[in-house]
């Protein structure tokens, strides 16, 4: 039962981890905007989360650590932000593909998303605190 209570907060925690990692990667891209040959990076998380929540694909249950993992990720605990290098677009002669305007927009969007997730997590924890306090009476 306790796992069901905290399952929503676990998803929010993973999403906050992803926004934090995305913020680091976007900042790294911005810092390297003038580095010749630098290829921008991006964080992929939402697709992985959607697949895990929808039960997309199949998954083999591992009963021992030495077993080979079969199939897709099945639980939220197994989801981690994935960092990909975007090498298909060339913006300049020096082979750098970072667009500063796009990165600044992505940073602002990510910041808003992070703040919304923090507010949602605070609301969930406040609700849990209220339930605990009312149970004492």
What digits encode the pLDDT tens for the residues 34-50?
999 899 999 998 887 77
Mean pLDDT of 100-111: 96
Q: Please check whether residue 33 lies inside any domain of the structure.
A: yes
Query: What was the pLDDT predicted at 1?
Result: 47
Please state the φ and ψ torsions of residue 105, each to the nearest 5 degrees. Answer: -65, -45
Q: Please check whether residue 15 lies inside any domain of the structure.
A: yes
Q: Please check whether residue 30 lies inside any domain of the structure.
A: yes
What is the Cα–Cα distance from 61 to 8, expressed in whole angstroms?
23
Q: Please check whether residue 54 lies inside any domain of the structure.
A: no
Q: Does 13 have pLDDT greater than 70?
A: yes
- For 15, residues 6+ apart whose C-beta sits below 8 A from its C-beta are 45, 49, 117
Least confident of 6-15, 67-76, 107-116: 67-76
Nearest one of 16, 25, 26 to 49, comparing CA atoms: 16
Q: Please check whether residue 99 lies inside any domain of the structure.
A: yes
Tell me which H or E stretch contains 46. helix 46-54
Count of the separate structural domains present in the chain: 1
Q: Please check whether residue 38 lies inside any domain of the structure.
A: yes
Block residue for tokens 């591992």: 62
Q: Please check whether residue 129 lies inside any domain of the structure.
A: yes
pLDDT band at 115 (very low <50, low <70, confident <90, very high): very high
Q: Does 73 have pLDDT greater than 60?
A: no
Structural domain span for residue 129? 8-45+81-136
pTM over 0.85: no
């Amino acid at each position: 039962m306790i796992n069901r209570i905290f399952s929503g907060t676990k998803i929010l925690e993973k999403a906050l981890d992803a926004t934090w990692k995305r913020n680091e990667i976007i900042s790294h891209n911005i810092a390297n905007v003038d580095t010749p040959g630098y290829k921008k990076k991006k964080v992929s998380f939402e697709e992985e989360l959607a697949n895990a929540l929808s039960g997309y694909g199949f998954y083999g249950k591992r009963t021992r650590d030495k077993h080979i993992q079969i199939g897709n990720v099945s639980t939220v605990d197994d989801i981690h932000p994935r960092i990909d290098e975007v090498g298909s677009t060339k913006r300049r002669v020096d082979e750098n593909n970072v667009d500063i305007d796009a990165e600044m927009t992505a940073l602002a969007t990510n910041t808003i998303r992070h703040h919304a997730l923090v507010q949602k997590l605070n609301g969930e924890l406040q609700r849990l605190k209220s339930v605990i306090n009312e149970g004492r009476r």
